[in-house]
């Protein structure tokens, strides 16, 4: 297994990987508004996984849904390397990865360019002083609202009861549509939505092995 520095070097050379840095904010991201045209070369729906880590969910969704395009977003290039390498080796041309801060997301995607977003096991930032860093804080939801198409859906999967309850509260306070939610996904998962439990991130495997309940919210930013 290559070391961290080698992974960073390889990440920069992978044809399915892109980076967007703070110093580029003024000149903009060249793929913005052009993901389908320039990379995927189709008109299929565009789906993001935010905080994708090693990209298990991005890859899992991409394998099951070849008629959709997937972009995993994370700040850690050495983590993304795992999913990106797998996608290249298995010729999963509907998968790409973006190394960027999540609060730069509106600089990387055009208005209404995205059809769907997954937020899988983000850091719950349990301290009250860090609420603004939660990926379902209204600050982030407003970023997503700019890039998601009207009617686009957002998924949250988490083991954190506090983040689950916090997110429901934020959605209700801002009159966003909560389509469905549960505090025990493995018990309540609908028969026609088995992909919700068939694909597991590294952390999800750890949590379920410990017997922890997985929470899930499906919502829209009206």
Percentage above 70 pLDDT, the chain: 98
- Averaged pLDDT of the chain: 93
Query: How does pLDDT run across 33-67, given as a tens digit for each residue?
Result: 999 999 999 999 999 999 999 999 999 999 999 99
Q: Which residue in 74, 115, 123, 159 is the catalytic one?
A: 123
CB-based contacts of 144, cutoff 8 Å, min separation 6: 105, 114, 117, 154, 221
State the pLDDT confidence band at 27, using cuts at 50, 70 and 90.
confident
Average pLDDT over residues 71-82: 90
Residue 151 predicted with pLDDT over 70: yes
What domain range is 72 assigned to? 4-220
Domain with residue 88: its CATH number is: 3.40.50.150
CB 176 within 8 A of CB 221: yes
SS3 for 68-131, per residue? CEEEEEECCHHHHHHHHHHHHHCCCCCEEEEECCHHHHHHHCCCCCEEEEEEECCCCCCCHHHH
Alpha-carbon Rg of the chain, whole angstroms? 17
Has residue 5 got a pLDDT over 70? no
Residue 90 binned pLDDT confidence (cut-offs 50, 70, 90) = very high
Per-residue pLDDT reduced to its tens digit, 193-216:
888 999 988 889 888 999 899 999
Using one digit for the tens of pLDDT, what is the confidence trace for 153-190? 999 999 999 999 999 999 999 999 999 999 999 999 99
Q: Look at 28 and 56; give whichever has higher pLDDT.
A: 56
A 10 A CB-CB count for 222 gives 10
pLDDT, one tens digit per residue, over 100-149 is 999 999 999 999 999 999 999 999 999 989 999 999 999 999 999 999 99
CA dihedral over 160, 162, 167, 168, signed as positive or negative: positive
Query: What local confidence, expressed as pLDDT, does residue 6 receive?
Result: 76
Domain count, the chain: 1
Residue 97 has pLDDT above 90, yes or no: yes
Catalytic: 103?
A: no
> pLDDT at residue 94 above 90?
yes
Give yes or no for a contact between 132 and 139, defined as CB atoms under 8 angstroms apart: yes
Quick one: which H or E segment has residue 154?
strand 148-158
């Amino acid at each position: 297994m290559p070391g961290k520095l080698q992974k960073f070097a390889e990440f920069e050379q992978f044809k399915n990987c892109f980076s967007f840095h703070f110093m580029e904010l003024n000149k903009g991201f060249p793929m913005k508004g052009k993901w389908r045209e320039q990379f995927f070369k189709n008109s299929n729906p565009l789906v993001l996984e935010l905080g994708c880590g090693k990209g298990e969910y991005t890859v899992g969704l991409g394998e099951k849904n070849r008629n959709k395009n997937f972009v995993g977003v994370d700040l850690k290039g050495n983590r993304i390397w795992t999913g990106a390498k797998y996608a290249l080796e298995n010729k999963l041309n509907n998968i790409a990865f973006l190394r960027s801060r999540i609060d730069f997301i509106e600089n990387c995607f055009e208005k209404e360019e995205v059809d769907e977003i997954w937020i899988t096991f983000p850091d719950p930032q349990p301290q009250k002083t860090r609420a603004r860093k939660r990926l379902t804080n209204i600050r982030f939801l407003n970023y997503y609202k700019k890039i998601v198409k009207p009617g686009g859906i957002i998924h949250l999967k988490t083991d954190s009861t506090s983040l689950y309850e916090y997110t429901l509260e934020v959605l209700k306070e801002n009159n966003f549509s909560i389509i469905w939610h549960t505090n025990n996904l493995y018990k309540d998962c609908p028969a026609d939505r088995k992909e919700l439990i068939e694909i597991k991130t590294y952390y999800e495997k750890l949590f379920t092995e410990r017997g922890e309940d997985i929470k899930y919210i499906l919502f829209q930013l009206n």
